[in-house]
Amino acid sequence: MPYDEDLANRVRDLIGREPGIGEKRMFGGLALMLNGNMAVVIRGAGGLMVRVDPALSEQLLTEHGAQPAQMRGRPMRGWITVEPSACAKDADLRRWVNQGVTYTRCLPAK
């Protein structure tokens, strides 16, 4: 299933001017990279996958539409999936994208 191009464009509008941003198709979606590290993924299954500070994961998982990210049935520490309904509003999308970009800025460049 292809990713939601409208959602991808909304995310691009939010972080397009951020230095070090790139894009890469992967996992059936579109990954937005910051200095070579994935920050936000527009999922082929809909919604987002967002890199977050692992110390904040439990708190963020209490928010509407947030679920632990899984890869091949295993939880991915430091990643959260966000349902499409939880990023439909611009303010909600901005908050989730900011979570991903803010944490990824702290990682060493690849």
Sign of torsion over alpha carbons 8, 13, 17, 19: negative
Exposure string of 30-41, with b = 16+ CB inside 10 Å and e = fewer, is: bbbbbbebbbbb
Beta carbons within 10 angstroms of residue 26's beta carbon: 12
Q: Is 47 left (phi over 0), alpha (psi -120 to 50) or beta?
A: left
Q: Does position 1 have pLDDT exceeding 70, yes or no?
A: no
Q: Does position 93 have pLDDT exceeding 70, yes or no?
A: yes
Q: What is the pLDDT of residues 49-61, one digit of tens each?
A: 999 999 999 999 9
Q: Does position 17 have pLDDT exceeding 90, yes or no?
A: no
**What pTM value is reported for the model?**
0.93
Q: Tell me the C-alpha distance between 37 and 49, whole Å.
A: 13
